[in-house]
């Protein structure tokens, strides 16, 4: 099954409920922004996703649905899945208020993928997803199960190396090969990332006192889990920038974009990766 029991899932759900409220509190009238055509997706996921028009697409761990609705606006038939009640309720309201139809399901993603009768041409996940799941093998087998033959999974994620690098660029944060969970509240990274993540003005970070477990999964483990689940790895990318989220306080904003980049004179390592894996027909 998921590898997560109810005692573990409940703090995750509650912590994400609070974090989602905190994050959305910084973003003003999102329905009006979406209806006015604001694009939240980044070119990296759009390039890997390819044609969206008319595609049956599932957005795994979709949070409050902003990315899901941008995918729907590009013509995909979108189903978003997330554990957080707050996130799914917000996504449903946003869909109605912005006039962009999509389906949202509140569910534990691995169990849902193991049980659903739905099948998709495209599965998508991004930016802070598998770290909340303990069992990467079960996740990857679930992804393979919900894809139609010939279907593709696109995953764009912060590179797991990021969590090892301290703000002064020494390796004084998390062990890259850590096995034990990290247990801490979901932070207000939207406030820390300012307008790169859609925050208006100068937001004061919201409080969250519910600690939730998260896990380190190395880059090789993610690729290996997908391959072991029978998916064919078609494309792999590494990027020396972080989209939206200021994953390290030493990073600086690339002028005119929503990217965080290494400052001049610092040797770059990857800050994000992208993978496309296909279920062969
Ligand atoms: C960093 S957010 C992902 C953001 C997303 N890429 C977006 O489009 O906004 C991580 C999400 O994973 C969800 N999550 C955590 N554990 C989960 C689980 N076991 N099943 C389903 N969703 C889960 C959280 O509720 C949260 O919304």
Strands 232-239 and 120-126: unpaired
For ligand 1, is residue 124 a contact (CB within 6 Å)? no
**CB of residue 186 inside a 6 A radius of ligand 1:** no
Tell me which of 212 and 201 has the higher pLDDT. Answer: 212
Token output for 228: 């072991």
* Chain CA centroid to CA 70, Å: 14
Decide the pairing of beta strands 147-158 and 272-278: antiparallel
Residue 163, ligand 1, Cβ within 6 A: no
User: Ligand 1: does its nearest atom lie under 6 Å from the Cβ of 155?
Assistant: no
Q: What percent of the chain has pLDDT over 90?
A: 95
At residue 4 the predicted structure's pLDDT band, cuts being 50, 70 and 90, is low
Report the separation in Å between the CA atom of 102 and the middle of ligand 1, taken as the mean of its atom positions.
17
Q: Which atom of ligand 1 is nearest to the CA of 128?
A: 1
Residue 76: closest CA among 56, 103, 46, 47: 56
- Domains in the chain, CATH or no CATH each: 6-278 (3.40.50.150)
Can you tell me the distance from the alpha carbon of 7 to that of 202, in angstroms, rounded to the nearest whole number? 36
> What mean pLDDT comes out for the span 237-266?
97
The protein residue with its alpha carbon nearest to ligand 1, atom 6, reads 126
What are the backbone dihedrals phi and psi of residue 219, each rounded to the nearest 5 degrees, phi first? Answer: -60, -45
Confidence of residue 258 (pLDDT cuts 50, 70, 90): very high
Choice between 1 and 223, residue whose per-residue pLDDT is larger:
223
Residues 6+ apart with CB under 8 A from 252: 260, 261, 262, 263
Q: Would you state the pLDDT for residue 3?
A: 52
The answer, yes or no, to whether residue 2 has pLDDT greater than 60, is no
User: Ligand 1, atom 15: nearest CA belongs to which residue?
Assistant: 132
- 1 band by pLDDT with thresholds 50, 70 and 90: very low
Residue 244 has pLDDT above 90, yes or no: yes
Rg from Cα positions in the chain: 18
CA of 265 to the centre of ligand 1 (A): 35
Say if residue 34's pLDDT is above 50.
yes
The number of the ligand 1 atom at minimal distance from the alpha carbon of 63 is 27
Calpha distance 85→105 (Å, rounded): 9
pLDDT of residue 202: 84
Mutate to test the pocket of ligand 1, among 12, 132, 193, 212 (most ligand atoms within 8 A of CB): 132
| 125, 59 contact by CB (below 8 A) | yes
Q: Which residue has the tokens 């993978």?
A: 275
């Amino acid at each position: 099954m998921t590898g997560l029991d109810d005692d573990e899932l409940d703090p995750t759900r509650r912590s994400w409920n609070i974090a989602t409220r905190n994050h959305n509190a910084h973003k003003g009238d999102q329905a009006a922004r979406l209806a006015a055509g604001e694009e939240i997706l980044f070119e990296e996921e759009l390039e890997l996703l390819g044609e969206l028009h008319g595609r049956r697409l599932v957005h795994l761990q979709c949070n409050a649905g902003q990315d899901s609705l941008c995918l729907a606006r590009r013509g995909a038939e979108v189903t978003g899945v997330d554990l957080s009640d707050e996130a799914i309720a917000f996504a449903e309201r946003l869909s109605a208020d912005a006039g962009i139809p999509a389906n949202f399901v509140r569910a534990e993603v691995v169990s849902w993928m193991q049980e659903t009768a739905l099948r998709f041409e495209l599965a998508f996940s991004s930016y802070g997803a598998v770290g909340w799941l303990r069992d990467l093998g079960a996740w990857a087998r679930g992804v393979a199960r919900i894809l139609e033959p010939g279907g593709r999974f696109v995953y764009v994620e912060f590179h797991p190396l990021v969590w090892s690098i301290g703000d002064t660029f020494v390796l004084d944060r998390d062990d890259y090969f850590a096995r034990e969970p990290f247990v801490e509240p979901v932070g207000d990274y939207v406030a820390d990332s300012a307008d790169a993540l859609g925050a208006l003005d100068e937001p004061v970070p919201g409080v969250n006192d519910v600690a939730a477990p998260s896990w380190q999964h190395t880059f090789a483990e993610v690729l290996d889990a997908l391959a072991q689940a029978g998916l064919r790895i078609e494309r792999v990318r590494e990027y020396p920038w972080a989209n939206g989220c200021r994953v390290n306080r030493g990073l600086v904003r690339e002028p005119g974009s929503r990217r965080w980049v290494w400052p001049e004179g610092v040797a770059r390592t990857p800050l994000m990766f992208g993978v496309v894996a296909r279920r062969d027909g």
